[in-house]
């Protein structure tokens, strides 16, 4: 009798603690810390790796509709520095940081509540539910912040727009191409964000569990570094072709003859006219940026979450 009572009390105590964590995460201050730590970590990582993002966009727009030798990231870097100067490597930084705070906060911030919802609804938290949670968080986040991404890539491709500024460029896009232009590429952008968040967060989450179970690593810097490096590699391989299609759609103008109709049409045209390698233009630049960005994001986010009193991812 006493044994049953004690066992019941212990399970009730465990349930209470679990619910208490959820209540804490769903409170106003908990949500603020949750989304704030995510947004700040992504913004810092974005700022540090922004020059690589500029090079990636330039590489993806090489030989549009043509086959031919591609310029590598090194020669392109030298060319940009010589012709446009060092400041050109920070084109579009303001919208990039704005988007990082919003998109990053939402993308990482929505992952955990989505994972908890799957656990509550299905009683399971396996890799498939982690992938589904990441895909949902990524797609929703990018659909809401797509206009800032369009503005960012437009500024990155044209150094003449630097003096005009992001607000003036947004007005110009709306007046000349319509407000719908701010959602150009939202389809592939959402698919990319869903694939990126699913592969990045699910891989990071699962890698941490496997490494803790099968290696001497414990919660801390080296575990976060190893898991985030694995996540960066996996997410680059999965998202590079989608990123290419997204960039092409965002940079095309309505007046261009033979413009891409949608993401599938764009992917088909790239394959048909530029070959399979066309989908991986800028692939090395994507990894050179996404690898360090993923590592910086997760290490910083884990540290900020610890300081804020939140659980590790």
Listing DSSP states for 32-75 in one string gives HHHHHHHHHHHHHHHHHHHHHHHHHHHHHTTTTT--SPPPPHHH
Provide the pLDDT for residue 302.
92
Q: Quick one: tokens of 23? A: 């209540």
Task: Identify the band that residue 14 occupies on the pLDDT scale cut at 50, 70 and 90.
Answer: very low
- Whether residue 16 is predicted with pLDDT greater than 70 in this model: the reply is no
Which one has a higher pLDDT value, 2 or 93?
93
For 242-262, write each residue's pLDDT tens digit: 888 887 887 776 445 357 888
Q: Compute the C-alpha angle 203/229/60, nearest 5°.
A: 90
Provide the pLDDT for residue 13.
40
Which one has a higher pLDDT value, 73 or 128?
128
Provide the pLDDT for residue 270.
86
Most confident of 117-131, 161-175, 196-210: 196-210
Q: Is the pTM of this model over 0.85?
A: no
Provide the pLDDT for residue 24.
47
Average pLDDT over the chain reads 81
Q: Compute the C-alpha angle 272/279/292, nearest 5°.
A: 175
- Per-residue pLDDT, averaged over 38-62, amounts to 88
One-character DSSP codes across 96-161 = HHHHIIIIIHHHHHHHHHHHHHHHHHHS---HHHHHHHHHHHHHHHHHHHHHHHHHHHHHHH-GGG
For 65-115, write each residue's pLDDT tens digit: 666 666 778 888 998 899 989 988 998 888 889 888 888 888 888 888 888
Cβ atoms of residues 134 and 127 within 8 Å: no
């Amino acid at each position: 009798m006493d044994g049953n009572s004690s066992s019941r009390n212990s399970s009730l105590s465990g349930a209470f603690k679990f619910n208490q964590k959820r209540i804490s995460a769903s409170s106003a201050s908990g949500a603020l810390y949750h989304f704030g730590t995510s947004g700040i970590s992504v913004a810092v990582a974005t700022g540090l790796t922004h020059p690589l993002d500029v090079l990636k966009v330039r590489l993806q727009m090489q030989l549009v509709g043509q086959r031919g030798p591609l310029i590598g990231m090194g020669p392109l870097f030298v060319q940009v520095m010589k012709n446009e100067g060092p400041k050109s490597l920070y084109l579009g930084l303001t919208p990039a940081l704005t988007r990082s705070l919003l998109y990053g906060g939402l993308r990482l911030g929505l992952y955990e509540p989505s994972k908890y919802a799957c656990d509550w609804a299905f009683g399971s938290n396996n890799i498939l539910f982690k992938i589904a949670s990441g895909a949902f968080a990524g797609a929703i986040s990018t659909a809401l912040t797509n206009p800032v991404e369009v503005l960012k890539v437009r500024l990155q491709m044209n150094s003449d727009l630097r003096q005009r500024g992001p607000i003036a460029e947004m007005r110009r896009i709306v007046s000349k191409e319509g407000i719908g232009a701010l959602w150009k590429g939202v389809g592939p952008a959402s698919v990319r964000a869903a694939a990126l968040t699913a592969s990045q967060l699910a891989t990071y989450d699962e890698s941490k569990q496997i490494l803790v179970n099968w290696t001497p690593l414990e919660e801390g810097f080296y575990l976060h570094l190893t898991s985030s490096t694995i996540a960066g590699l996996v997410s680059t391989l999965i998202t590079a072709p989608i990123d290419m299609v997204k960039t092409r759609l965002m940079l095309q103008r309505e007046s261009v003859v033979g413009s891409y109709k949608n993401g599938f049409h764009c992917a088909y045209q790239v394959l048909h006219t530029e070959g399979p390698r066309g989908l991986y233009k800028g692939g090395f630049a994507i990894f050179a940026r996404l690898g360090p960005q993923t590592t910086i994001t997760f290490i910083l986010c884990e540290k900020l979450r610890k300081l804020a009193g939140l659980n590790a991812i």
